[in-house]
Copies of this chain bind each other. A is one copy, B any other.
Amino acid sequence: MAARDLQERIKKLIVDRRLPSGAPLPTEPELMEFLGASRNSVREALKALQAMGIVEIRHGFGTYVGPMSLAPMVEGLAFRTLAGHHRGEDSLLQLLELREAMEAGLVSRLAGRLPEADLTELAALVDRMEERAAQGAGLTETDRAFHAMLYRGLDNVLLSEVLEAFWDAFHRVQRDLVEVAEEPRVTGRRHREILDAVRSGDSIRAEKAIRDHFGNIRARLSDAVMTRPQDPHTHHNERV
């Protein structure tokens, strides 16, 4: 039997039975009988589906429909970027430019359209960012939260997830690759300017604020010591 077929038929089974995320799949013996294949073939198909985030396998417990998150996309993008970088390509810069292009286009549409509730939440995040900057603490957590919150107003879950996926991929690779020379004060200022610009309703100013922010990151990227050829003990992904 073609192994590709097995994957297709399992996917079809999920769709046909309208199984939602978290629903239990048939056990391996049941799938063996249903698909008419051996245990190993079924397992290989399930492994492939698990890699795509379509199913979730819990040891000694069972197989379930996966959360349908974009985690596999992060995985793939991160590896692609990492491998490209080690081969001398500017893949990390390209990933950053991709984020910049998307966010610049979106923020201009967002200017002046955010509800007050979102704005106050964003303000709280910037406050927290500057607070942590003063303490010399890391800003990545708050940065992620800020960007996620910013585009929540677009009211498109898929779009939000895609943006977060790109954020995750970028920071995963950056963390494993370069020594970031952060300038916390500057980062805080950039985000406050983004917030103010969005609040003011000035699309052009908002887009410029985003581009300045990304320009800052890009500069840090060039200055950074791009030389950490390989350190053997980076296990940088626990399956989500």
Query: Which residues of A are at the interface with B, using a C-beta cutoff of 8 A?
Result: 3-5, 8, 11, 14-16, 18, 20, 40, 43-45, 47-54, 68, 70, 72-73, 75-77, 79-80, 82-84, 86-87, 91, 94-95, 97-98, 101-102, 104-106, 108-109, 154, 156-159, 162, 230, 235, 237, 239
Contact = CB atoms under 8 A, between A and B. Distances in A.
B83 A76 contact: no
A93 to B, nearest CB: 9
Contact of A102 (B5, B40, B83, B105): B105
Given A15-B82, A40-B43, A102-B102, 19 more contacts: A14-B83, A15-B83, A43-B44, A44-B47, A47-B47, A47-B48, A48-B50, A48-B51, A52-B75, A54-B79, A72-B76, A94-B156, A94-B159, A95-B158, A97-B158, A98-B158, A98-B162, A101-B109, A105-B106
Given A15-B86, A47-B48, A83-B15, A156 B76 contact: no
B73 A76 contact: yes
Contacts of A72: 52, 72-73, 76
A162 B45 CA distance: 26
Contacts of A16: 230
A87 B20 contact: yes
Interface of A is mostly: helix
A158 B108 CA distance: 23
Interface hub of A16, A77, A158 (most chain B Cβ within 10 A) = A158
Contact of A101 (B14, B68, B95, B154): B154
A142 to B, nearest CB: 25
A168 B92 CA distance: 24
Nearest to A5: B235
12 contacts: A15-B83, A15-B86, A18-B86, A20-B87, A43-B44, A47-B47, A52-B75, A53-B76, A73-B73, A101-B106, A104-B105, A105-B106
Nearest to A8: B235
A49 B237 CA distance: 14
A177 B70 CA distance: 22
Nearest to A232: B12
